[in-house]
Structure 1
Amino acid sequence: MSFCLRGVVLGMMVLALGRCGFGLDPSRSLNQYGRQVWGTDNGLPQNTVHAVVQGRDGYVWLGTDDGLVRFDGSAFKVYTTENAPELRSNSVQGLTVDREGRLWVVTAGGLAVYGENRFLALGLADGLPDAAVWFVHEDRRRRVWVATGGGLCVVRGVRCEVVAATKGLSVSGEGKFAEAVDGSVWVADGAEAVRLDGGSLGWVETLKTVGGAEILVESVGSDGALLVGTGEGLQMERRGVLAPVVMDGVVGRVAVNAMVRAADGSVWLGTSGGLVKGSGERFGVFRPAVALPSVAVQTLFADRAGAVWVGTASGVARVVGGRLEVFQAGDGLAGSSLLSLLEDREGNVWLGTESDGLTVLHEQKFTTYTTAEGLSGNVVRSVLEDVSGSVWVGTDGAGLNRRTAEGFAAMTVREGLSSNVILSLASDNGDLWVGTPTGLNRVRGRTVKVLTTADGLADDFIRSLLVDAKGDVWVGTRHGLTRISGNGMTTYTSMDGLGSDFIGVMVQARDGDLWIGTSGGLTRLHEGRFTNFKVRDGVAKNVVTAIYEDADGTLWLGSNGGGLSRMDVHKGNGVIVPVPATNLPEAISSVLEDGERRLWIGSRGGVFRVAESELERVIARGGGSVALAAYDTTDGMRVRECSSGGHPAAMRMRDGTLWFATLRGVSVVDPEHLDENGVAPLVAMETVLVNDVAHDALRTGELTLGPGRQRVEFQYAGMSFVAPQKVRYRYKLEGFDREWVDAGEHRSAFYSNLQPGRYVFHVEAANNDGVWSEQDAVLRLRVRPHFWQTWWFYGVLVLVVAGIAYLIYAWRVRRVEALYAGVMEERSRIAREIHDTLAQGIVSISLQLEVVTRLMGSSVEAARAQLDETRVLVRQSLADARSSIWDLRSEEAEELPVRVGRSLKMLTGTSSATGRLTVMGSYRAIARPVEDELLRITQEAVTNAVRHSGCSLVEVTLTYDLKGVRLVVRDDGRGFDTSAAGPAGHFGLRGMRERAAKIHARLEMRSEVGSGTEIFVELNLG
């Protein structure tokens, strides 16, 4: 497979992806890049990577023999014929991303295209001239070409149109197709090279080549000349004529397998006989100091930084500025035989191998030197830049290393050191002081002198060293502090005022004071006197492991288990305040400061960078977290744990770089040139799960859920491949969340019991340097309501409530009206009862009294008897009045005829009229209230007859039959004209009509002048 044009394709693809990184720093060696190897052991379905491309959405796509793979930096999603039958085969041979973002997939079974989250298969029915597809290419006019066993075709929409001039040609590789700068298209077939017009795609000319045309590149001359690589060498086309090109140093005929144009304009050829470089029309074999992994070059690629990558069957090489560097399986490459290569939008380089998976190379902030770079050992205890500018690295068991132009030069016991375990380093003018577990070594030139307790040292185990401003050497041991001066050696212990005899770290401040970290706290030596600071004085822990004086003279103290403390030496004897930051490490081995007033802290958990202003803020606030940057293996450290127990464990060099001793090499960072990843990551929705069931909502960007309690999980990915482990996320469900939710490194968001409505889910991603995505991924969500949660239901409910309220109101109004009507009816009833009972009784009493008056003159006894009757009548009238007014009922149930007869007798007994009661039919019991009304009607009618008609006979007839009851009250009085009768001014006739209506009876009155009056009441009980 050839990569001559793949650089052009990748360049166009990268431009389509938006902002891009600058690529890998060519000044670093290949083994100093971060690298990640992916294979079947950690997610790849199969280890043969035929193709690797990056889509516009940021995903990296891999073609393997066991499916198409989509990779987001952390997880692989595999598409096979089972979940994507459009692929036709699981063996993916080639991949191309066009400028519309579609992914063209060439498989052993045909062609498929992926776009808008779905696959579409293209075959013979869609216009392909042959089922065998070799490759897909997008030209400068954005036309998509498909090379098949039956010729070339151009895709228009979803149809393939065969280019007539190529019909029958077998374009079996991408190296047999090329575009020239004038837009013309060249197609190679066997020993012929066919040239097509770039616009009309018509035939222009056919040229014969030597050895079979393999690949064509853009013009190399002002006259539009083209280079043609063949199976037997290099030729140049000019004005329709092909001529051989001489390649200096090439012996015999060689096949040109690949071509690429570098950033400087030079053309590189990969041949079966080696690597060839050319400019203009001059070409010659490239002969670096380091040999290629294999003579035969298979692939070539030029990255954005100007480096040329060379793929062979035995490994990869990179050419930078005339220097070649080899990268093979033993150096961290997944495998030796390279099949595919990609430079992604961040500048990472992806290397797909034939049988060993995928290797990703990425830029790192730290450069780590290990045995691979020449160190004598990987466990580093101390690092020092001496007064002459030389850098020294002390290892644990492998001796002392000096940095050289070529790497490192080691000094061990063979050169005179007392031990290969280097614990501490210091230097003065001309001497290097080396502390070991077996004594102090003074290195002067090539001479080593060892000092021990026999020479006056407190102990042979030298933990720390310091050369002060006077040139005196201070030696920290486990049994005290020894000072070496022109006067000899002097040892100080806790008996002399030291906080402890176990000395860990020493620093001389700019004011000349000596600060000593011990296992018993912090000690200051000022003008010959020791002052101790312990936990009670503000030190976080008594075991002080790091001391650093910043630009303001403030001391920053690191402890073993207590974190960081700040000491203001300008206040009294010094005020120490622990830094109450919750996210700072507790076990600190070193503290440094860069030129931007930021502290760099070495610890067991890695290296941390924090601004001093952040520390001051958290101290003033009394606690909380600080904004910091954490560095570990993803940033170039080979192991995150920094070394402890040595001195200095870290050092800021004159050039501003910071060196940290670690348990696997010495890690170096330049704070002024951190190579920040400024490429904003792309972020995409991956899956939406509802109650743990995946839903296909990505194509439409919207998901509709039914009513009820449901659990929704949004899964997303941010595509940043420099340090995928450090990609962070934040999300917000618009309509639910008021603020963005910091998800950290979690790639899922969960919601449950969402109320009906419309929501919009947003997610953003930040890369390893905190650059947030410029555009968030969005998914719209609609939760349908239950019918009782809909607006129309609420409307109906409002109407129902309003109706109920109205009914309650109307009921209350009717109740009030009924109460009022009841009161009025009661008043009317009382009035009627008074009229019918009390008034009638008074009339009877009045008549009785008139009789008494007439009898008084004739017979006292008769008058007395009449008064007795009158008294009985009064009592009876009062009883009837009370009973009527209070609607009281007698305990004894009397029949209506009996009651009517008694009333008739009472009302006519004192008048000249005679009363007669006739009952026809069998008595029929009816409701007592109904009988009461009939009785009152009878009483009213009889009273009117007695008082007003002048009658001699009042006849009452009660008739009972099957239909009901008929009451007739008839007198033989004077009668009256009913048509001329007006309101009587009393309740007589009107009261009778009201009572009849109350019991639903029919009342009629018939009267004529001189013929009496008849009241007829008919009550139908049927």
Structure 2
Amino acid sequence: MTSNRFRTVAAIGQATLLLAIWARLQATWALDPRKALTQYAQDVWQIEHGLPSNTITAILQTRDGYLWLATDNGLVRFDGVRFTVFNKTNTPALGSNSIGALLEDREGTLWIGTSAGLVRFKNGTWTVYTTRDGLSDNSVTSLSQDHEGSLWIGTESGGVNRFANGKFSVYTRQQGLASNHVRATYVDRQGVLWVGTTEGLNRFHEGRFITYTAKEGVPPGSVTTFSEDEEGALWIGTATGLIRFKDGTFTSMSKGGFSPRTLRTMIHDRAGNLWVGTYGGGLYRLSRGSWSRLTVKEGLSDDRVLSLYEDREGSLWVGTRGGLNRFKDERVTAYTAREGLPDQWVYSVCEDRDGSIWIGTRGGLARWKAGMLVTYTTAQGLPSNVVRALHVDRKGNLWIGTDGGGLARWSEGRFVVYGKKQGLMGDRVYAVYEDRSGRLWVGTYGQGFYQLKDGRFLGFSIEGDRVRRVGPGIRPQGFVRVIYEDRRGNLWIGARRALFRLKGEDATFYARQQGFSPGELVTSFYEDEDGTLWIGTYGGGLNRFRDGKFTVYTTDDGLPDNVIYQILEDDRGDLWMSSNRGIFRVSRKELNDFAQGKVTSLTPSVYGTAEGMKSSECNGGNQSAGCKTHDGRLWFPTTKGVVAIDPIRFRANPLPPPVIIEQIKVDKNVLDLTKTAQAPPGKGELEITYTALRFL
């Protein structure tokens, strides 16, 4: 959201001021149902931010993009930056500051239900309707519009009113209502009007209301809210629980993790999730048959939820007695100890065949699957709780490299540990990799690297610019953090301040003398579809190896950091890299253009805490410090959890923000924007106040 004032002194020629507002576009996203409620970005606005009251009874976004709020101390218009308050002092038509209902009709007219009558706001003009005009009760509790365009008005004690052709028709107990005290009205897709009263549920049929009772499956008591799902089923909120009506049958839904409480508000979002606001029990979400709950303990401003609304950009707005809440998808999703990780400090992450995400931390191993997280530690047989390396082999076995406990394999629900008995002399395992021929390679911290062959580990020592095979029982030397095989069958070994390429028995050494920038250590490899090898380092930046030549990219060329922990490619050909200064994205084309001298600097996009990371500092120097999963998401370990990135969410918002001119002054005189405005020629002072309505 941007909101600005533009002020200039200029020659003003005779002009006609025309205002064009972009047409509304339907958003193509909603809150990701795979996320825990705590993983959404949350913003809270209260009195200190400009609200006239913390009690938000209704929320509505009108077609021009403004968000309107009903409170017990006035009507509020919100552009994402500023709250504009309308009350009985500055807007006498309101009559009361107690606002209970909002509706925008098909013609774009805003209707406001107050405790002192019904108010219409159209083209800048306020009109009030009260009992003097035929309204049965001035206290308006709900508003709906039917398929014929008639307005239905629920009242506190005067039943339901129908407003059509400028006249009110009144329906009360005499026409079959269970009670004259109306709490909710709703028109379903079939055009049927439903009314919730303090004494039960009603449906309008052929000029009268039919009441549903316990005989039909509707418990006695107050009916407070309605919502319709994508299958056409009507969900009904009551003082005692939740009911679903489909094909003539009422079914209680107050089960499976949902505690019956007073339901005050309810909506289905565009992804099909059901959101339920309760009075005292917080906010509930029903997604994929499972309930989850958010309360004050998890950050909700108040457990008394009064209103819910999904805006055109997919954000969820929650009105409570403690202020206005906005939940939106972070572009980066973080999984932390709050979601159940055994430790915030994450070293490695990988995906197995069934889609499980395995996460190696400083406090154990975690498995994330279908929204559930299971932790494994030494209590379950893990040789060490410090999990550095993870790799899934072609048979589906998970290999775990630990710091101090050696190597383990997770197979058929148990850990099998490998150590000196099998020839693995190093117990600080930082890299595990299987090549295309099925050979398993293991890299260690200061203890060389190994190949698993016929159940035994063969050791290799790094000695200066050489790689030497060592005999059984001899501890190798060398720091190896990453191992990788390219499509030509070369095995690349990332070592301390050096790089080795193994081809059979031959080893080629690369360091600064060969044009390579190793930094302190080599951290990652990635070979793209063109056969170019990209190499990340700790302190040496990014290296490109193609046709026997290295190209080096550093902060001098535009990179945000010279520490590159992991390199992943998305489906559009962009490279994503993790660093100590966030995660950044740069196109392969731009990198290749730099190598060919077509450009002289890089323009990466950098992401950090502003996009949802809990810390911008990533982790790496082990394998694997990130992975791309089958759904296209990119996962990176950080010092505060593991993060998942859906690259699609980093594309431009397809909804252009409507730009609205709110006020124009010429020589300090306000122009009437409801009419064609003209200013005389000559020099003068022009002041334009405008806003761009965007809430992401």
Equivalence for 1:626: 602
- Structure 2 residue 404 is the aligned partner of structure 1 residue 438: yes
Q: What is the CA-CA distance between 1:415 and the residue it aligns to?
A: 1.9
Kindly provide the CA deviation profile for residues 91-144 of structure 1, in whole angstroms up to 9, marking residues without a partner as x.
xxxxxxxxxxxxxx4x4x4672xxxxxxxx437xxxx7x898765655446666
Instruction: Summarize deviations over 1:51-93 as a string: whole Å, max 9, x none.
Output: 54445554545566788766554x4x355xxxxxxx6xxxxxx
Judge conservation of contact 2:136–2:159 (CA < 8 Å) in 1.
Answer: no
**SS of match in other structure, 1:174:** strand
The one of 643, 650, 674 aligned to 1:667: 643
Distance change >3 Å, CA 628–CA 204, structure 1 → 2: same
C-alpha distance 592-697 of structure 1, shift in aligned 2 (>3 A): farther
Shift of 1:427: 4.1
**Counterparts of 1:471 and 1:381 in 2: how far apart (Å)?**
24
2:199 to 198, 209, 232: 232
Compared CA separation, residues 322 and 192, structure 1 to 2 (3 A):
farther
What's 1:577 paired with? 551
Are 2:481 and 1:481 equivalent residues in the alignment? no
Alignment of 1:198-277 (within 5 A): 198-201=164-167, 203=169, 207-208=173-174, 209-215=177-183, 217=185, 226-246=193-213, 253-277=220-244
Q: 2:302, 2:60 → 1: CA distance? A: 19
Q: What is the distance in 2 between the residues matched to 1:23 and 1:591? A: 28
| Structure 1 residues 634-675: Cα deviation after superposition (integer angstroms, max 9, x where no partner) | 444343332123311012234543221222322223446767
Distance 1:217 1:480, change over 3 A: same
Q: Which amino acid aligns with 2:224?
A: N
| Aligned counterpart in structure 2 of residue 490 of structure 1, from 453, 459, 463 | 459
**Aligned AA (2:270):** R
Question: Are the aligned partners of 2:590 and 2:602 in contact in 1 as well (CA < 8 Å)?
Answer: yes
- Asked if 1:122 is matched to 2:93, the reply is yes
| Residue ranges of structure 1 left out of the alignment (5+ in a row) | 1-14, 80-86, 88-104, 113-120, 723-1022
Cα pair distance change 1:111/1:256, threshold 3 Å: farther
**1:425 aligned residue:** 390
Give yes or no for contact 1:638–1:664 (8 Å, CA) kept in 2: yes
Moved more, 629-638 or 230-239: 629-638
- The match for 1:300 among 235, 260, 266 is 266
Q: Is contact 2:350-2:357 (8 Å) kept?
A: yes
Measure, in 2, the Cα distance between the counterparts of 1:155 and 1:59. 14
Q: 1:411 aligns with which of 364, 367, 376?
A: 376
Match of 1:601 in 2: 577
1:523 and 2:500 equivalent? yes
CA-CA distance at 1:256 after TM superposition: 0.9
The answer on whether the counterparts of 2:72 and 2:99 sit within 8 Å (CA) in structure 1 is: no
Letter in 1 for 2:390: L
8 Å Cα contact 1:542-1:559 kept in structure 2: yes
1:153, distance to aligned residue in structure 2 (A) = 6.6
> What secondary structure, in the 3-state scheme, does the structure 2 residue paired with 1:647 have?
coil
SS in 2 for 1:618: helix
- The gaps in structure 2 that reach 5 residues or longer are 1-20, 469-476
Do the aligned partners of residues 242 and 384 (structure 1) sit closer, same or farther apart at CA in structure 2, a change above 3 Å counting? closer
In structure 2, give the amino acid aligned to 1:721: F
Displacement after TM superposition at 1:234 (Å): 1.1
**Counterparts of 1:168 and 1:338, CA distance in 2:** 29
The match for 2:24 is 18
SS in 1 for 2:159: strand
Residue 366 of structure 2 corresponds to 401
2:478 aligned partner: 501
Q: Distance in 1 between matches of 2:231 and 2:644?
A: 31
1:506 CA displacement? 1.5
Report the structure, 1 or 2, having the larger strand content. 2
AA aligned opposite 1:347: G
CA contact 1:425–1:465 (8 Å) conserved in 2: yes
Counterpart residue identity of residue 575, structure 1:
K
Check conservation: 2:37, 2:292, Cα contact below 8 A.
no
1:552 aligns with 2:530: yes
Residues 721 and 643 of structure 1, relative CA distance in 2, 3 Å threshold: farther
Alignment partners' CA distance in 2, 1:41 and 1:221: 38
Task: State the shift of 1:317 in Å.
Answer: 1.5
Q: Distance in 1 between matches of 2:126 and 2:48?
A: 39
- The 3-state SS of whatever aligns with 2:28 is coil
Contact 1:686 1:715 in 2 (8 A): yes
Alpha carbons 1:54, 1:61 under 8 Å: kept? yes
Specify the alignment match of 1:369 in structure 2. 335
Of 471, 487, 491, the residue aligned with 1:514 is 491
Cα deviation, 1:158-197, whole Å, max 9, x if unaligned, reads 474657775473231332x544434444445566535546
Q: In 1, Cα distance between the equivalents of 2:41 and 2:614?
A: 11
**Does structure 2 conserve the Cα–Cα contact (< 8 Å) formed by 1:480 and 1:492?**
yes
User: What residue number does 2:429 align with?
Assistant: 462
Taking a change above 3 Å as real, the CA distance of residues 61 and 702 of structure 1, as seen in their structure-2 partners, is farther
CA distance in 1, matches of 2:97, 2:73: 20
1:343 alignment partner in structure 2: 310
Partner AA of 2:626 in structure 1: A
What secondary structure does 2:406 align onto? strand
Paired residue secondary structure (1:507) = strand
Decide whether the 8 Å contact of 2:542 with 2:552 is kept in 1: yes
> Following the alignment from structure 2 to structure 1, what is the Cα–Cα distance between the partners of residues 678 and 137?
45
Q: Contact (CA 8 Å) 2:172, 2:179: kept in 1 or not? A: no
1:514 shift after superposition: 1.5
Task: Give the CA deviation at 1:301.
Answer: 2.4
Question: Are residues 67 and 519 of structure 1, via their aligned partners in 2, closer, same or farther at CA, if it must alter by over 3 Å?
Answer: farther
TM-score with structure 1 setting the length: 0.57
Partner of 1:935: none
For 1:173, give the aligned amino acid: V
| Contact 2:439–2:452 under 8 Å retained in 1 | no
Task: Report the alpha carbon displacement of residue 557 of structure 1 after superposing the two structures with TM.
Answer: 1.1
Letter in 1 for 2:644: V
Q: Percent of pairs identical after alignment? A: 30
Matches within 5 A, 1:139-158: 139-140=105-106, 152=118, 158=125
Partners of 2:379 and 2:406 lie apart in 1 by 16
- The CA distance in 2 between the partners of 1:370 and 1:482, in whole Å, is 33
Choose between structure 1 and 2: higher helix proportion: 1
Name the CA shift for 1:156/1:307 in 2 (closer, same or farther; >3 Å). closer
Counterpart Cα distance in 1 of 2:538 and 2:98: 67
Q: Distance in 1 between matches of 2:188 and 2:451?
A: 72
**Does the alignment pair 1:36 with 2:42?**
yes
Q: CA deviation at 1:420?
A: 0.3
In structure 1, what is the Cα distance between the partners aligned to 2:467 and 2:642? 32
Q: Which sits farther off after the overlay, 469-478 or 419-428? A: 469-478
Give how far 1:323 is off.
Answer: 3.9
CA contact (8 A) 2:352 2:396 kept: no
Q: How far is 1:676 from its partner? A: 5.6
What amino acid does structure 1 have at the position aligned with 2:537?
S
Contact 1:539 1:578 survives alignment (8 Å): yes
Q: How far 1:461 sits from its partner (Å)? A: 1.9
Residue pair 1:50, 1:353 contacting (<8 A) in 2 also:
yes
1:616 counterpart = 2:592: yes
**CA 595–167 in structure 1, closer or farther in 2 if over 3 Å, else same:** closer
**What one-letter code is carried by the residue in structure 2 that aligns with 1:484?**
L
Residues 467, 507 of structure 2: 8 Å contact kept? yes
Deviation at 1:615, TM superposition (A): 0.8
1:272 Cα deviation after fit:
0.5
Deviations 1:287-313 (A, max 9, x none): 341214x51101122333333321102
Paired residue type of 2:93: L
* Structure 1 residue matching 2:595: 3-state secondary structure: helix
Which has the higher Rg, Structure 1 or Structure 2? Answer: 1
Matches within 5 A, 1:893-972: none
**CA gap 1:269/1:721 in 2 versus in 1, 3 angstroms:** same
Q: Distance in 1 between matches of 2:203 and 2:611?
A: 47
Partners of 2:482 and 2:128 in 1: CA distance: 78
Distance 1:496 1:131 in 2: 80
Q: Distance in 1 between matches of 2:630 and 2:162?
A: 62
Structure number with greater CO (CA < 8 Å, separation at least 6) is 2
Question: Residue 578 of structure 1 aligns to which amino acid in structure 2?
Answer: V
- Are the equivalent residues in 2 in contact too, given 1:229–1:257 (CA < 8 A)? yes
